[in-house]
Structure 1
Amino acid sequence: MIDMHDATPPGDGGRALPDPEPHPEPPPEPRPDPITTDEAFAQCHLPVMVFDSGLRALRASSGAARELGFTEEQMHGRRITEILPPHACRTVEDGMLRVFRTGEPEQFLVRGRARPEAGERVWSVTVSPIKTPAGRVRHLQLSALDVTEQHLARERLALLNDVSTQVGSTLDVTHTAQEMADAMAGRLADFVTVDLLDSLFRGAEPRPAAAGAVALRRAGQQSVLPGVPEAIIQPGDVDHYPQSTPPVRCLTTGRPSLHRTLDEDFPSWQRADPERSEVVRSFGIHSVMVIPLLARGITLGVAVLARHRRQDSFDQDDLLLAQEIGARAAVAVDNARLYTLERTTALGLQRSLLPRRLAAQDAVEAAYRYFPALTRAGLGGDWFDVIPLSGARVALVVGDVVGHGLRASATMGRLRIAVRTLADVDLPADELLVHLDDLVTHLAAEEDPTAEPGLDPSTGLIATCLYVVYDPVSRHCSAAAAGHPPPAVVTPGGAAEYVDIPPGPPLGVGGLPFETVEWELPPGSVLTLYTDGLVAGSEHDPGNGMTLLLQRLERPAASLDALCDDLIHTLLPAKPQDDVALLVARTRALDTSQVATWDVPSDPAAVADSRARTLASLAQWRLDDLAFTAELVVSELVTNAIRYGQPPIQLRLIRDASLLCEVSDSSSTAPHLRRARTFDEGGRGLLLVAQLARRWGTRHHADGKTIWAELDVAEHQIVDL
């Protein structure tokens, strides 16, 4: 039989189902407890206050009472202007009025002291409306959160960012130091001075004195007060710090220091430096930081930061911030120092390669000006020269190497020496430029642009040059140009024009020949040679610059120096972007009475007549003391031309600052100086000439050659052979 009590419904595994549990009832909603809410508000550690529509305080939390220094009962019924210090009243009250008017909450920062004896803090103040169910603003809630640390951190970060972007904008030591002082004054300190070792301003590596007072040059200073009245010296002046003072210790050890007026070091500093002690007393300076300017392990100087308007003293965080600023500024100052050193080196190199004074000659009266570029690219390769030539002639040269820096300056020096060497050979202007072009090509081939950083392989080595030769006897001028602007000529009547010279290719380009142009110049004409930096300034294009140059040349000038100054002042900007070389020359002409010329027959008997005519000319010129030497030189030169040259033969004497003896013939064979052996019958003529003359040489021309010798009129000497 089956027990019905043991039977289970199918499918539930033989287990009995439990009785279903009833669902729990939801708990009743808690009712607001006015006492608890009141206590929570009263005991809130954050400053929270409630104001009515008349901006009178209704409630204040314990945090508000603690920060403001009043009890809640004392603040009840008072306006905010009666609770907060005056500096914060207007900001907070204006915000409360706006919230009442708009019904929208506002948040703003308030910086200052909640009560006079408290420290300066930064508060994030929030004013929120308390509305009725109808949406009308009934009361206001004011809460304040102390965000001093976050705000100061943002200020320090912003200051560091500004220092990184603003300090070191130029490669000038003084300007960089002033930028550092400007960045910190008013934001970190009330008064800032930056003093650097004097050697920095010359680009040299600083070496502080081992003992005694240290002399530092004031590079920059700034104050929150107009005119920086706290400073006892001006920028550029030298200040002396006694040995025992914190700046000297900072300079020696490279460590920063923080001082207050109550510290032990501060009174001793004041006693050692009475002048600064008076400044501290007068302005109420209470806190000072001394920061070393360290870069690449070298102490460049010190920065002194002081506070007198801000009541808070410097703390360790301020010291770390100032030290970081000093480190960044020091790198910028050191970069400026290295740039100054490099520029001084390049300028010294260029100055040494340029003529320090013009060579003595009587063909022209000359004046010049040279201005280096004032850009970060560095100096260029502009040069000029005045080269005395044989026959009382003179060569005027102006050139420009493309590019900037030491490379351009060094190349300029090589080209200038090459021009002088080629000029001594008395080559025509076009041939001289051909040889100079070959030299530039060889120099460019020797350079490896990939081996030296900063060299541009696309530009190679390129230069321009203008070579002008003036003869005061014939009053003829010849010139050739290699990619250079033409010279300007001002006649004695005052008319100015450019000489039409084919420009030719720049040196180093090749492919086209150079051409020589010849013309006659009346005495008193002014030749003006220049580089493109004069006419292609930032304030005008080259075309306008060349037009303006002619206009200024037509204006009368008291002297050539005055003319140079006028051209520079008119055409050159305050900070030229390219080097400028300017050479101005007024031509002279030798009177016919200073030149004696004879045709010499190709007969040995004519030598005696040449000597006689020479003696007669010397007597007319009152050079009797030079008769023996001149007679011997003329005899040797005429004999050499008759024996080895070809007719026609010509003798010319030129009386100038020296006596020039020239013998010309139609042979192109040049004589060579050699030492004669004991039993040789000849070979001593040129040796005698070389011993008796100050200079001698040979120049070739289309009709043959000319052998010349220059005798010193003032200090001639007869050599005992």
Structure 2
Amino acid sequence: MSDAEPPELLLFGSPAAPGEDAWGEGAPVTETLDLVLHHATTCLDGLGALVHRHDPAAGRLRLVAASGLARAGVGEWADLPDEQDVAPAHAVRRGAFVCVAGDSLGIGAAGTAAIPLPGADGPVGVLSVLTAGPGEPDEAQRSLLHALAAWAGARLSGGAATSPGPGPVAGAKRSVRMGELTAALAEAVTSHDVVQAVAEFVLPPFGADGLVFQMLEGGRLKVVGAAGYPQEFLSLVDGIPLAAHASFHDVVRTRTPRFIESTAEAFRRYPALRHVHEVSPKEAWAFLPMMASGRVIGLCVVSFSEPRSFSDEERTLLTALSGLVGQSLERARLYDLEHARAQELQRGLLPRTLPRLPAASAAARYLPAGRGEEVGGDWYDVIPLSADRVAMVIGDVMGHGITEAAIMGRLRTAVRTLADLEMPPDELFSRLNDLVSELGEDFYATCLYAIFDPVARTCTYCLAGHPPPVVVHPDGTVHSPEGTPDPPLGAASPPFATHQLHLPDESLVVLCTDGLIESATRDIDQGLAQLRQILSQGTAHTACFEAADEDDDVRCLEELCDRVVSALLPDQGQTNDDAGLLVVHTRCAAARDVASCSLPDDPRAAGQAREYIRKQLDTWGLGDLALTTELLVSELVGNVVRHAKGPIRLRLLRSRSLICELYDGSLTTPRIRHASYTDEGGRGLQLIAALSRRWGARYLQDGKCIWTEQDLPLAHASGEPGRTSVLA
């Protein structure tokens, strides 16, 4: 039976409130039954398990729950007289564990092991496991069944736990703690959770104060969890070869626990390891093999600061513990591995760092759903465009998991590709909508795509089923524009509505997914209102508009992200949806850093453009770039005069680079072609590509713009990054 995939729990009795009629109101019946049946089946590697309630007044056993078995197959045991010759009835009559050979229910079982669920006035029920293999359960398996029965009996009867049989009070308490351990291990997800559960429920009842889990990897024992040991000692034994540690080798080879009651005994039995025991802070040890899937996967070492002896009952319980913990730890290790892979995948799909651009700095957060694979379909991005414009995008593929993350990766790649083509938001959404629609009817994605233009001081955006942006002005005013978003991508029909905001210099644009603002206790409108309030308070505390430099700016944005997340998602581990947050600090271009002029639609345009460039670059102190810039613009103007049409306009932008833009009234696309040796033309765009850092074209409603970028001379490029105004 797989520990990672518990079988379905079948409940019998009152359909409205299963278990309440049988065990009394208020008891966590379903949870208790599920845990005890699952772990009892796992303990014996059985085919399935059942729990009956004992009705002493009627002298009958009523079936309450079953696991791993078909409902029709257990109907024969739905109502059993106390005197019937079957394992559950035998266990109740004797008040003790019984094992009966034979396939009583006709499901291919080798036998049935049954143990009473103890109560204050006798058995309150019976736990039965249908075994698959021949022979009776061994002592360790019986001990664990006793622990499970004691714990379940106490939980179901609502009273104090009682010992499953005669023995000291300490032994009874240990059995109950073992039962509590099974519940904790059922909820343990990571290796750390398993270590914590064992430290909490096992060490105190035995008076132990040390715990080490070591997994067998490539012939070495690697420490995967510990409690009560200094890091120096753990480093000493971490990765130790199995063959070099005789006590460990004996345990793994024989699959038998070793109990060392003093340091003197350790020296006597394993003299070659004297140096290890001399530096160990412990004086007694229980070396327990951890079994899973029929093999030894590692060791669980329970240790004590004082020498002590181990009773037979303690040895039995600790041995039972090792098998239970081994299965849970193997499951947890698989989760840890998948979790690490999921995190690696998520890191690969999201931006590792956000760019620091002349017109924008940004910070972001991605928070996966509290339960699951720690990977999902939320994404964000900041994309540099031409003319210092910035594209901001945030999206959410419906659902969370590996599939959604893969779709998210495809959409993010598509957005970056389409953004690089300088598409306006509505056209980009039309292309993206086609992509999502092709994935199938069950896939949808919400998205917000915005373009900030620092010269026009506008933010143009489209919404597809997504929360609107929130804008924080430099004076602290916070608002979210009203407007009805289009349906999500995959369900929408173009055209998409385009919205536009006018942004003052030094504004914050905040984008988020619904997982950040929507929850079981608040709707999106309430979440947006709370986000606006947090931003109003947070910007005052983090001084986002008073940053001394770019590093300080990013640090303030990071602090603001932390404030927003901690306020809206105080208990991140309990969230049931992925959440994304992107905060962008926008900076508008200073008027003195932008210059433009109109040019005639004839051959005179090139000469006028060169003259304008010489004067403007001299004004900016960039005379060193005049010759190259004149050559670039001459080629651009010549192409327009020969192949396009007016009106023609030249615009220069001084930023971290010198940007030259030439606007015309044609939609024809310039393309670099290979000119032969005898061709008299066709090399203009090759020259432009060689003289500029990068170049390109973007298309407008009434024409196009061809642009180039050149690096500034070192003396001008060394100014304060991200703030073009310092170049005056």
Tell me the TM-score range normalised by the shorter chain. Answer: 0.5 to 0.7
- In the aligned structure 2, how far is the partner of 1:298 from the partner of 1:686? 69
- In the aligned structure 1, how far is the partner of 2:566 from the partner of 2:705? 45
Please point out which of 157, 177, 185 is paired with 1:167: 185
Could you give the per-residue CA deviations for residues 205-227 of structure 1, whole angstroms, max 9, x where no partner exists? Answer: 83453xxxx6635434xxxxxxx
- In the aligned structure 2, how far is the partner of 1:357 from the partner of 1:261? 55
1:602–1:642 Cα contact (<8 Å) kept: yes
Superposed displacement of residue 196, structure 1: 2.4
Partner of 1:497: 479
Matches within 5 A, 1:22-421: 148=166, 161-185=179-203, 189-191=206-208, 193-197=210-214, 206-209=217-220, 216=223, 218-220=225-227, 231-233=228-230, 238=235, 240=237, 243-244=244-245, 246-247=247-248, 249-250=250-251, 254-261=255-262, 265=266, 267-268=268-269, 271-273=274-276, 279-280=282-283, 288-296=285-293, 299-305=296-302, 313-315=310-312, 319=315, 321-421=317-417
Could you give the per-residue CA deviations for residues 182-225 of structure 1, whole angstroms, max 9, x where no partner exists? Answer: 343465x332643124xx7xxxx83453xxxx6635434xxxxx
Partner of 2:543: 558
Are 2:420 and 1:424 aligned? yes
SS at match of 1:586: strand
State the aligned residue count: 533
- In the aligned structure 2, how far is the partner of 1:700 from the partner of 1:217? 58
- In the aligned structure 2, how far is the partner of 1:595 from the partner of 1:277? 72
2:209–2:303 Cα contact (<8 Å) kept: yes
Are 2:573 and 1:573 aligned? no
Could you give the per-residue CA deviations for residues 235-290 of structure 1, whole angstroms, max 9, x where no partner exists? Answer: 9965638844524643576542234459955645595455578753xxxx6xx531
Partner of 1:515: 497
SS at match of 1:291: strand
Could you give the per-residue CA deviations for residues 434-482 of structure 1, whole angstroms, max 9, x where no partner exists? Answer: 111111222x14xxxxxxxxxxxxx722211111111111112101011
Superposed displacement of residue 416, structure 1: 1.2
Could you give the per-residue CA deviations for residues 671-714 of structure 1, whole angstroms, max 9, x where no partner exists? Answer: 22211122222221111112222211111111111111112224
Could you give the per-residue CA deviations for residues 63-102 of structure 1, whole angstroms, max 9, x where no partner exists? Answer: xxxxxxxxxxxxxxxxxxxxxxxxxxxxxxxxxxxxxxxx
Partner of 1:583: 582
Are 2:444 and 1:462 aligned? yes
Partner of 2:115: none
Cα 1:217–1:332 change in 2 (3 A) is closer
- In the aligned structure 1, how far is the partner of 2:304 from the partner of 2:382? 62
- In the aligned structure 2, how far is the partner of 1:309 from the partner of 1:590? 73
- In the aligned structure 1, how far is the partner of 2:275 from the partner of 2:191? 29
1:484–1:531 Cα contact (<8 Å) kept: yes
Superposed displacement of residue 405, structure 1: 2.0
Matched residue type, 1:258: F
Superposed displacement of residue 414, structure 1: 1.6
Partner of 1:474: 456
- In the aligned structure 2, how far is the partner of 1:306 from the partner of 1:595? 74
Partner of 1:712: 711
Cα 1:194–1:679 change in 2 (3 A) is same
Matched residue type, 2:658: L
1:372–1:380 Cα contact (<8 Å) kept: yes
Q: Whose helix fraction is larger, Structure 1's or Structure 2's? A: 2
2:369–2:578 Cα contact (<8 Å) kept: yes
Could you give the per-residue CA deviations for residues 126-149 of structure 1, whole angstroms, max 9, x where no partner exists? Answer: xxxxxxxxxxxxxxxxxxxx9648
Could you give the per-residue CA deviations for residues 574-633 of structure 1, whole angstroms, max 9, x where no partner exists? Answer: 325233322222222212221121111111122111112112212222222222221111
- In the aligned structure 1, how far is the partner of 2:288 from the partner of 2:253? 12
Cα 1:186–1:569 change in 2 (3 A) is closer
Please point out which of 543, 547, 564 is paired with 2:525: 543
**Unaligned segments of structure 1, at least 5 residues:** 1-105, 109-145, 221-230, 446-458, 717-721
Instruction: Provide the TM-score with structure 1 as the length reference.
Output: 0.67
- In the aligned structure 2, how far is the partner of 1:219 from the partner of 1:402? 39
Partner of 2:661: 662
Cα 1:308–1:670 change in 2 (3 A) is closer
- In the aligned structure 2, how far is the partner of 1:372 from the partner of 1:601? 57
Superposed displacement of residue 350, structure 1: 1.2
SS at match of 1:191: coil
Cα 1:385–1:215 change in 2 (3 A) is closer
Matched residue type, 1:683: G
1:429–1:516 Cα contact (<8 Å) kept: yes
SS at match of 2:698: strand
**Percent identical across equivalent pairs?**
37
Cα 1:245–1:367 change in 2 (3 A) is same
Cα 1:216–1:587 change in 2 (3 A) is closer
- In the aligned structure 2, how far is the partner of 1:153 from the partner of 1:640? 94
Structure 1 stretch 683-692 or stretch 258-267: which is displaced more? 258-267
Cα 1:591–1:169 change in 2 (3 A) is same
Partner of 1:130: none
Matched residue type, 2:193: H
2:433–2:492 Cα contact (<8 Å) kept: yes
1:539–1:573 Cα contact (<8 Å) kept: no
Superposed displacement of residue 645, structure 1: 1.1
Superposed displacement of residue 483, structure 1: 1.0
Instruction: Provide the TM-score with structure 2 as the length reference.
Output: 0.66
Superposed displacement of residue 492, structure 1: 2.2
- In the aligned structure 1, how far is the partner of 2:692 from the partner of 2:236? 60
Could you give the per-residue CA deviations for residues 362-408 of structure 1, whole angstroms, max 9, x where no partner exists? Answer: 11232323333332253222211111111221111111122222222
Superposed displacement of residue 490, structure 1: 1.6
SS at match of 1:689: helix
Cα RMSD over matched residues? 3.5
- In the aligned structure 1, how far is the partner of 2:415 from the partner of 2:609? 35
- In the aligned structure 2, how far is the partner of 1:624 from the partner of 1:694? 18
Structure with the greater alpha carbon radius of gyration = 1
- In the aligned structure 1, how far is the partner of 2:418 from the partner of 2:265? 75
Cα 1:256–1:502 change in 2 (3 A) is same
Partner of 1:224: none
Are 2:601 and 1:602 aligned? yes
Cα 1:272–1:703 change in 2 (3 A) is same
- In the aligned structure 2, how far is the partner of 1:502 from the partner of 1:470? 21
Matched residue type, 2:226: A
1:168–1:333 Cα contact (<8 Å) kept: no
- In the aligned structure 1, how far is the partner of 2:601 from the partner of 2:338? 63
Superposed displacement of residue 299, structure 1: 4.7
